Structure 1
């Protein structure tokens, strides 16, 4: 697995912190890592974007790349149109990821919003780039009520396009999980027919970066070069 697409069931659910944790765990395992953000929206020209946040948390050895930046926090094609700027095509994403893969063990491609958010006028999405790359897609999902439907739909959309959903990571696990969140630990793998591969604490991004890097493997399963066990994690909340 040299290229991994990181998508989500929606926006503001923890894709960047999940990408950061995967990068940190891979670096800790001795891998060279690059993160590619095809389209950064809602960030000014001199402000740090998601790729820079991954480097901040995962460490300076991570290579950051960004293909396009649009000032308004909208879907990439809409943001590009309103700003009068070029859009990003699946071919450009695939080319950039392939180029990074030549010099890195792992390339993480972080999408914008959910899987089927439009990147250009033709309606292309992150799924189209994943197809060109032949890359698996990690689904980042929220913990609580409503996540089962959106996660199932995302996994179904991937399979309908002959793409491989690698698994699900909970992007922000609450310090005091409610009943729905606790039940979803067992239900997310069922509805998506993919394994649960991790759960990132809700306060993870506020940790000092060295602490974030040390703890990242404990939030991710061995598939993502971590030590986290879904069975052990679920048993912690079984009697709650």
Structure 2
């Protein structure tokens, strides 16, 4: 798995922190890692972007971006409003391919959800995954509403004949409500793919050393971690309603 594409079911679901956790666990396993942000929006020329945040949390990764736009909008819209060239899926795939030549693992992080448009032609992160023939990891929220968006994302990946590696819960609350607890069992069912991790709420605010120590405990062995999905489900899922 030299390249892994990471998408969210939407915005603000913990995608960047999950990307950092995957990077940190891979580094702890002795792999060299690069993270590529396909299109960074909502930051100025000298501000830190998502790839920089991954490097801050995870450690010695190569951080790169393909394009950057100042307004916090979908990449295609942000490029048009800024009067700049949009990012194209082929550009992202080419950049990932170059990074893969010098790293064991390249993490390609999208912007928002799978079908957020990069350009006027409708190019998306799904097209990047197709060009790279790379598996896709979906980051989803824990609570009410996540099942619909997760299933829609999974269906689109299957429709495009892309490999859905699994689902990671981007932020698992310290006191999960009933919906979140039920979703532990329901998320892999609606996705048709395994649950591969759950990051604790507030993980991104941890000291980087603590984050790096914790990351392998939040992710399954498929992502270089030690997290046990079955044990987590037994512990967190509610008993059947009698």
Hey, what does 2:90 align to over in structure 1? Answer: 91
- The C-alpha deviation readout for 1:41-84, integer Å capped at 9, x for no partner, is 0111111000000000000x200000111111100000000000
Root-mean-square deviation over aligned CA pairs: 0.8
Instruction: Say how many residue pairs are matched.
Output: 239
Aligned partner of residue 107 in structure 1, secondary structure: strand
4+ residue runs over 6 A deviation: none
Hey, what does 1:44 align to over in structure 2? Answer: 44
The reply to whether residue 62 of structure 1 matches residue 61 of structure 2 is: yes
Q: CA deviation at 1:202?
A: 1.3
Given that 2:42 and 2:69 are in contact with CA atoms closer than 8 Å, whether structure 1 keeps it comes out as: yes
* Structure 2: stretches of 5+ with no match in the other structure: none
- TM-score, structure 1 as length reference: 0.98
Q: CA deviation at 1:238?
A: 3.9
Hey, what does 1:111 align to over in structure 2? Answer: 110
Rate the CA distance shift 1:167–1:85 in 2: closer, same or farther, 3 A: same
Aligned partner of residue 113 in structure 1, secondary structure: strand
Q: CA deviation at 1:237?
A: 2.1
CA–CA distance in structure 1, aligned partners of residues 156 and 129 of structure 2: 13
Q: CA deviation at 1:209?
A: 0.2
CA–CA distance in structure 2, aligned partners of residues 225 and 112 of structure 1: 24
Hey, what does 1:15 align to over in structure 2? Answer: 15
CA–CA distance in structure 2, aligned partners of residues 56 and 68 of structure 1: 20
Aligned partner of residue 39 in structure 2, secondary structure: strand
CA–CA distance in structure 1, aligned partners of residues 74 and 201 of structure 2: 25
1:182-221 pair list within 5 angstroms: 182-221=181-220
Given that 2:184 and 2:236 are in contact with CA atoms closer than 8 Å, whether structure 1 keeps it comes out as: no
